[in-house]
Amino acid sequence: MISITDKTLQDLEFKTILETISDLCNTETGKQKALEIIPFKTEETLMDSLLQTSEYVASFS
């Protein structure tokens, strides 16, 4: 997988997005964790996380 460069993250205003997400968090821990989000490095890691999320959401049905 092609890695995302710092320039690309800057162009996408990734830091601004994380700050917006952080502002929506209710706890200081949540705010800090939101600011620590980084893009997935591999497609495999991304797909594993998406599967876990799908399983979690499905558990409410």
Residue 1 lies in a domain: no
Average confidence score pLDDT of the chain: 95
Residue 26 lies in a domain: yes
Specify the number of domains making up the chain: 1
Residues 10 and 8: their CA atoms lie apart, in Å, by 5
Residue 49 lies in a domain: yes
The full DSSP string for 27-43 is: SHHHHHHHHT----SSH
pLDDT tops 80 at residue 2: no
pLDDT tops 80 at residue 20: yes
Q: At residue 4, what are phi and psi to the nearest 5 degrees? A: -90, 130
- The pLDDT, as a whole number, for residue 3 is 83
What is the crossing angle of helices 14-24 and 28-35, to 10°?
170
Q: Which residues span the domain enclosing 52? A: 6-58
Residue 19 lies in a domain: yes
Do the beta carbons of residue 4 and residue 40 sit within 8 Å?
no
Q: Report which DSSP code applies to 42.
A: S
